[in-house]
Amino acid sequence: MFPSSSATQIPSAKTMISAAASAAATIVLFRSLVKEHLPYEFQSYIFYKLKTLINSFSSEFTLVIEEYDNLNHNNLFKAAELYLEPIIPPDAKKLKISLTKKESKFSFSLDRNQEIVDTFNGITLKWKFISKQVPIKYIPSPDNFNSMPKSEDKFFELSFHKKHKDVVIDVYLKHVIEKSKETKEEKKSLKLFSLRHDRMSGRRGDVWQSVNLHHPATFDTLAMDMEGKRVIMEDLERFVKRREFYRRVGKAWKRGYLLFGPPGTGKSSLIAAIANYLKFDIYDLELTDLRTNSELRNLLISTENKSVLVVEDIDCSIELQDRLAQARAMMPSRHHPPYNQANQYQVTLSGLLNFVDGLWSSCGDERIIIFTTNHKERLDPALLRPGRMDVHIHMSYCTPCGFKLLASNYLGFTEHPLFPCVEALIEKARVTPAEVGEQLLRYEEPESAITGLIEFLEDKSERLKREDGNKDSNGESGTSEGKLAQELDGNNGEVVKKEIDESTGEVVKKEEGAQEPDGENGDIVKEEGRNRGAMVKIQ
């Protein structure tokens, strides 16, 4: 009998192992001979050709996303890190975790040679993170002035079927970028930036220093009337949604706000509420710290998009009313010291206007610029016109509506038998939300807090009556703080016509029922939010 065909065709396990060992030994010997006897360039060429030959039989296509493009950061690499973090599977065996300086949330990322499978419109995509040790090289640091050593190359390999190449490049990668932006916004800790004191001392790097912004103010806790808050929130929402509109009409994507009113009325809290509402960082700009207009421009360029730039007490920061200050400085005399002395400000009105509404204002997108002042009438009309201060928000004394919100925040309730008495007194006494809040903080018991507030309001009302009576008996023209505050309040919802005392700059007379024209172009402004608590003008 002849042996069966199966017996002659199937080799034994010992034969198979021996053949595999011989093949492996041959490959190792071949690689050793190549490394020892062939130049490195020729070796690379051979291995490249072999890899190309193998890939020609595969339907898989791979995109390599490196951390750096030459010496520049590759934004797509960072976008890929942010995009992959939310889709890391819960059963992943090994991940990297980090907590970046000044951040409050942990960050997760793939460890070396780890993979994630993603699906998009029915396409299966495989992400693989690779890190290789390389000889040390130096790359620019984030401040663009120094360099830092780099000893490894990091990159992602994105693999998929080659028939989906166009869809992945044209659609999927854009999807990755958009999702990474959403993840970045969710992880973002708001920052409060201020100027470095050593920025002019030769220190090279960023001119801003930051701390985390933990201010708890929101529009829900802000002691303003509801109509005023509604107008502001709608204006903010409209602004952030109109990028293409601003680009189409040829305007810089920015919005200017003026907050004016007595001290303690919540201007700083409103700024924090706006930042928390939009999730924008705050840049606190102190004009008196600046030396030249060019320094002001440099600071504007160094601020990030999606930010709130704040200039507080603009009327006290610089001689904005005096357009001849620079001319006088060019001709120093016995009465006018040289312009470059330490007690003179070199940031001019024209420099500030160019910063707010000139060519330099277009250096950046999606910015809110907020000015605050206790005396709006002291500002130059050129600053008040639309395009520079688009929205005027009057932060007035506390109203019954504001008191109820403060009572809810401090005491935990909005109804009490003594509330009508408090509301009646608040209508007479000119008290700020800060004063009301301070009174509510003085006592642990709610009953004692309300009783103490009533006593404070009664004392304040009596004091105001005595002051008004003394002024009437002395025949004064009504230039007091109370007269000015009442004029600014707009209790009856009408815009008032103001007359200014040339010697003091204070309001001395008003004529009710008159519309207020814009200071520069004479156009009538639009008035919204006709409540005592807040008067919002969108110009």
Instruction: Tell me, yes or no, whether 183 lies in a domain.
Output: yes
Q: Let me know whether 379 and 249 are in one domain.
A: yes
Higher pLDDT, 198 or 531: 198
* 32-83 pLDDT tens trace: 766 776 676 666 677 767 767 666 667 888 999 998 887 778 899 999 999 9
So what's the pLDDT on residue 189?
84
- Residue 161's SS3 state is strand
Kindly tell me if the per-residue pLDDT of 106 is higher than 90.
no
| Helices 433-441/446-474 angle, 10° precision | 140
Among candidate residues 468, 495, 515, the one where a domain is terminated: 468
Q: Which of 9-23, 248-262, 263-277 has the lowest mean pLDDT?
A: 9-23
Distance CA 488, CA 485 (A): 5
Total domains in the chain come to 3
Order of strands across the sheet that contains 526-528: 208-212, 191-195, 281-284, 307-311, 367-373, 254-260, 391-395, 534-538, 526-528
Among candidate residues 468, 502, 518, the one where a domain is terminated: 468
**Helix or strand run (H / E) with residue 51:** helix 40-56
pTM: 0.68
pLDDT band at 342 (very low <50, low <70, confident <90, very high): very low
Kindly tell me if the per-residue pLDDT of 389 is higher than 70.
yes
364 and 305 in contact (C-beta within 8 Å)?
A: yes
* 485-521 pLDDT tens trace: 333 343 333 334 444 443 334 444 443 333 343 433 3
Mean per-residue pLDDT over the chain, rounded: 76
Distance CA 479, CA 239 (A): 38
pLDDT band at 123 (very low <50, low <70, confident <90, very high): very high
Higher pLDDT, 197 or 495: 197
Q: Let me know whether 304 and 385 are in one domain.
A: yes
Instruction: Tell me, yes or no, whether 28 lies in a domain.
Output: no
283 and 289 in contact (C-beta within 8 Å)?
A: no
Q: Let me know whether 117 and 158 are in one domain.
A: yes
- Residue 175's SS3 state is helix
So what's the pLDDT on residue 493?
35
Kindly tell me if the per-residue pLDDT of 93 is higher than 90.
no
Distance CA 33, CA 532 (A): 90
Whose tokens are 């008040």? That residue is: 384
Kindly tell me if the per-residue pLDDT of 384 is higher than 50.
yes
> What letter represents residue 42's amino acid?
F
Instruction: Tell me, yes or no, whether 371 lies in a domain.
Output: yes
CATH number of the domain where residue 384 is located: 3.40.50.300
φ and ψ at 75, to 5 degrees?
A: -60, -30
Q: Let me know whether 390 and 267 are in one domain.
A: yes
Q: At CB < 8 A and 24+ separation, what contacts does 406-415 make? A: 406/223, 406/433, 406/436, 406/437, 406/440, 407/440, 409/221, 410/437, 410/440, 410/441, 410/449, 411/440, 411/446, 411/449, 411/450, 412/446, 413/446
Q: What is the DSSP letter of 128?
A: E
**Alpha helices in 119-172, H assignment, sequence order:** 165-167
Residue 509: closest CA among 484, 528, 532, 491: 484
Q: Which residues face 391 on adjacent strands?
A: 257, 538
Instruction: Tell me, yes or no, whether 478 lies in a domain.
Output: no
Instruction: Tell me, yes or no, whether 164 lies in a domain.
Output: yes
So what's the pLDDT on residue 526?
42
Q: Which of 41-50, 161-170, 206-215, 297-306 has the lowest mean pLDDT?
A: 41-50
Whose tokens are 């396990």? That residue is: 13
469 and 459 in contact (C-beta within 8 Å)?
A: no
Q: Let me know whether 432 and 303 are in one domain.
A: no
So what's the pLDDT on residue 413?
86
Higher pLDDT, 140 or 125: 125
Instruction: Tell me, yes or no, whether 250 lies in a domain.
Output: yes
Q: Let me know whether 239 and 361 are in one domain.
A: yes
Give the highest mean pLDDT range of 233-247, 351-365, 494-508: 233-247
Q: Which of 185-189, 220-224, 260-264, 523-527 has the lowest mean pLDDT?
A: 523-527
| Helices 40-56/13-37 angle, 10° precision | 140
Q: Let me know whether 75 and 98 are in one domain.
A: yes
> What letter represents residue 347's amino acid?
V
Distance CA 266, CA 148 (A): 45
Higher pLDDT, 517 or 95: 95
pLDDT band at 168 (very low <50, low <70, confident <90, very high): very high
Q: Let me know whether 304 and 423 are in one domain.
A: no
Instruction: Tell me, yes or no, whether 513 lies in a domain.
Output: no
Sign of CA dihedral 142, 147, 148, 150: positive
Q: Let me know whether 65 and 163 are in one domain.
A: yes
Whose tokens are 């002001």? That residue is: 296
Higher pLDDT, 234 or 55: 234
| Helices 433-441/400-410 angle, 10° precision | 30
Q: How far is CA 114 from the centre of its chain?
A: 34
Residue 457 structural domain? 402-468
Kindly tell me if the per-residue pLDDT of 252 is higher than 90.
no
Among candidate residues 442, 468, 494, the one where a domain is terminated: 468
Q: Are strands 281-284 and 191-195 parallel, antiparallel or unpaired?
A: parallel
> What letter represents residue 303's amino acid?
T
* 201-221 pLDDT tens trace: 444 457 888 888 888 999 998
317 and 286 in contact (C-beta within 8 Å)?
A: yes
pLDDT band at 19 (very low <50, low <70, confident <90, very high): confident
Residue 263: closest CA among 379, 390, 507, 431: 431
Higher pLDDT, 188 or 333: 188
302 and 272 in contact (C-beta within 8 Å)?
A: no
Q: Let me know whether 242 and 387 are in one domain.
A: yes
Higher pLDDT, 484 or 333: 333
Structure tokens at 472: 């009437």
- Residue 318's SS3 state is coil
Order of strands across the sheet that contains 123-140: 60-66, 147-161, 123-140, 115-120
Length of the chain: 539
Q: Let me know whether 221 and 120 are in one domain.
A: no
Number of H helices, E strands in the chain: 19, 19
* 405-433 pLDDT tens trace: 999 989 888 888 999 999 899 888 889 99
Kindly tell me if the per-residue pLDDT of 392 is higher than 90.
yes
Q: How many CA atoms lie within 13 A of 286 on its CB side?
A: 9
Per-residue 3-state assignment (H helix, E strand, C coil) for 86-104 = HHCCCCCCCEEEECCCCCC
pLDDT band at 158 (very low <50, low <70, confident <90, very high): very high
So what's the pLDDT on residue 355?
77
Higher pLDDT, 310 or 515: 310
Instruction: Tell me, yes or no, whether 330 lies in a domain.
Output: no
pLDDT band at 534 (very low <50, low <70, confident <90, very high): low
Distance CA 501, CA 55 (A): 85
Distance CA 29, CA 23 (A): 10
* 127-155 pLDDT tens trace: 999 888 877 777 766 555 567 777 788 89
Higher pLDDT, 174 or 44: 174
- Looking at the chain, the whole-number percentage of residues with pLDDT higher than 70 is 71
Q: Which of 13-17, 112-116, 374-378 has the lowest mean pLDDT?
A: 13-17
Q: How far is CA 511 from the centre of its chain?
A: 41
Q: Are strands 123-140 and 95-98 parallel, antiparallel or unpaired?
A: unpaired
Kindly tell me if the per-residue pLDDT of 8 is higher than 90.
no
Distance CA 490, CA 485 (A): 9
Kindly tell me if the per-residue pLDDT of 322 is higher than 50.
no
Q: Let me know whether 85 and 180 are in one domain.
A: yes
